[in-house]
Amino acid sequence: MEKIDVQYIDLGLIDYKKAWDYQEEIFAHFLQIKSKNRDLPENEQVAIENKLIFCEHPHVYTLGKSGKQNNLLISEAFLKKINATYYKINRGGDITYHGPGQIVGYPIIDLEQFNLQVKQYIAKLEQSIILTLEQFGISAGRLPGATGVWLDSDNAKARKICAIGVKASRFITMHGFAFNVNTNLEYFNHINPCGFVDKGVTSMEKELGRKVDYKKVKDVLRSKIEEVFGMNLKK
């Protein structure tokens, strides 16, 4: 199958709301294109220029539209004390944490171009993370009934290393994944991550017992996403 061109954008460390607004702008533009294309003959339709955005956020908690407010276990005053912000947002899933040392990915793509349903799309995101971890000697997998990437998913020690929460409309996606590389895991103590009260979280740093080369992980992950999805990433 021919590879699909996707623009790769690295926003670096960016405020969560700024990145969210940026995503929303692209998402709305793509929806507009799709809407117009429906009434045009194929040779006049405008192609959607798929994007893969990588970034990192200062400390922030985000609650998905199906999440429960009481999964945030701290007060507004305590949020300020730990230099964190909090947003209710429009992705699926419950509460999660973003912070320095975490790779956050926001693919804004047209799933129809990739011939994917939403569940297949999520599975491919998970697979990209699993293959990346494999390169660093970490064995990971999936947990039945839960999204994301887990370690020791088949026993009581199950812990999540990557959270996934997406939004899709007319097969256009936004939001994405949060992959713990050198993440300060103490911030997860203030929430029930993804609504789970009986599961742990982890990071590459914790599993390997050392800081990991963040840029190297990002490069490997980018190449795995390219491979798994059949993308041709261009800057």
**Token pair 């992959």: residue:** 179
pLDDT at position 217 is 98
Q: How far apart are CA 159 and CA 198, in angstroms?
A: 10
Can you name the CATH fold of 4-234?
Answer: BirA Bifunctional Protein; domain 2 (3.30.930)
State both tokens at 33: 């294109």
**Token pair 């370690």: residue:** 151
For residue 171, the 8-state DSSP code is: T
Q: How far apart are CA 80 and CA 99, in angstroms?
A: 15
- Give residue 145's pLDDT band: very low, low, confident or very high (50, 70, 90): confident
Is the pLDDT score of 193 beyond 80?
A: no
8 A C-beta contact, residue 105 and residue 11: no
pLDDT at position 200 is 87
SS3 75: coil
pLDDT at position 195 is 58
Q: Residue 101's closest CA among 164, 56, 148, 53?
A: 56
Q: Of 60-69, 158-167, 182-191, where does mean pLDDT reach its minimum?
A: 60-69
pLDDT at position 225 is 98
pLDDT at position 188 is 92
pLDDT at position 199 is 73
- Within 13 Å of residue 229, how many CA atoms lie on the same side as its CB? 32
Listed as own residue / partner, the contacts of 203-211 with beta carbons closer than 8 Å and 24 or more positions apart are: 203/101, 203/161, 204/133, 204/136, 204/138, 204/161, 204/180, 205/101, 205/181, 207/138, 207/151, 207/161, 208/136, 208/137, 208/138, 211/182
In sequence order, the β-bridge partners of residue 88 are 63
State both tokens at 178: 């949060």
- Give residue 228's pLDDT band: very low, low, confident or very high (50, 70, 90): very high
Q: How far apart are CA 179 and CA 162, in angstroms?
A: 4
Segment 196-208 mean pLDDT = 85
8 A C-beta contact, residue 45 and residue 37: yes
pLDDT at position 184 is 96
* 194 has catalytic annotation: yes
pLDDT single digits (tens) 86-140:
999 989 878 889 999 999 999 999 999 999 999 999 999 999 999 999 999 999 9
For residue 107, what are the CA distances in angstroms to 6, 53, 139? 9, 6, 24
Q: How far apart are CA 135 and CA 194, in angstroms?
A: 26
pLDDT at position 196 is 61
pLDDT single digits (tens) 24-73:
999 999 999 999 998 999 889 999 999 999 999 999 999 988 888 888 99
CB atoms within 10 A of CB 209: 6
Q: How far apart are CA 175 and CA 13, in angstroms?
A: 16
CB atoms within 10 A of CB 69: 9
Q: Of 83-97, 161-175, 220-234, where does mean pLDDT reach its minimum?
A: 83-97
- Computed over every residue of the chain, the mean pLDDT equals 93
pLDDT at position 26 is 98
Segment 163-182 mean pLDDT = 96
Given 19, 103, 181, 194, the catalytic residue: 194
